[in-house]
């Protein structure tokens, strides 16, 4: 089955590293496209294309302030990604619990051997 277009799927949209970098920059506060382009080290038209994809999937919002357009993070758009990643939390917690038990077992064995390893 072919992948969904990046303009309709948040997962595909954030697969691109520069788009993830944009989201990170917008996490702190709204920013104009020129600032984002400068921070990313890419052209303003290139940055605008990334912003359009992020807007289309609901990860970024834009508002006009005088002559400037400010882009901000639309955190609600990250909800499906958060839910998907959260599904792995139990796996990692169980893995860390098993690792912790293994380390404790090694420590008990070391103590019972007198630490002569």
Q: How would you write the pLDDT of the chain (117 residues) with one tens digit per residue?
A: 444 455 568 999 999 999 999 999 999 999 999 999 999 999 999 999 999 999 999 999 999 999 999 999 998 998 989 888 888 888 888 888 888 898 999 999 888 887 554
Asked if residue 2 is part of any domain, the answer here is no
Same-domain pairing of 105 and 70:
no
CATH number of residue 15's parent domain: 1.10.10.10
Asked if residue 5 is part of any domain, the answer here is no
Q: What is the DSSP string of 67-110?
A: TEEEEEE-GGGGHHHHHHHHTTHHHHHHHHHHHHHHHHHHHHHH
Asked if residue 35 is part of any domain, the answer here is yes
Same-domain pairing of 64 and 96:
no
Tell me which residue range forms the domain holding 101: 87-112
Same-domain pairing of 71 and 105:
no
Same-domain pairing of 62 and 108:
no
Q: What pLDDT, on the 0 to 100 scale, is given for residue 93?
A: 85
Asked if residue 42 is part of any domain, the answer here is yes
**Domains: count for the chain:** 2
């Amino acid at each position: 089955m072919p992948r969904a277009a990046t303009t309709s799927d948040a997962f595909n949209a954030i697969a691109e590293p520069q788009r993830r970098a944009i989201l990170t920059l917008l996490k702190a506060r709204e920013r104009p496209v020129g600032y984002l382009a400068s921070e990313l080290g890419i052209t303003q038209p290139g940055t605008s294309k990334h912003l359009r994809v992020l807007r289309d999937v609901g990860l970024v919002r834009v508002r006009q302030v005088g002559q400037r357009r400010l882009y901000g993070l639309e955190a609600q758009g990250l909800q499906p990604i958060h839910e998907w990643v959260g599904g792995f939390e139990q796996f990692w917690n169980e893995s860390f619990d098993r690792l912790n038990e293994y380390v404790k077992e090694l420590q008990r064995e070391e103590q019972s051997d007198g630490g002569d390893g």
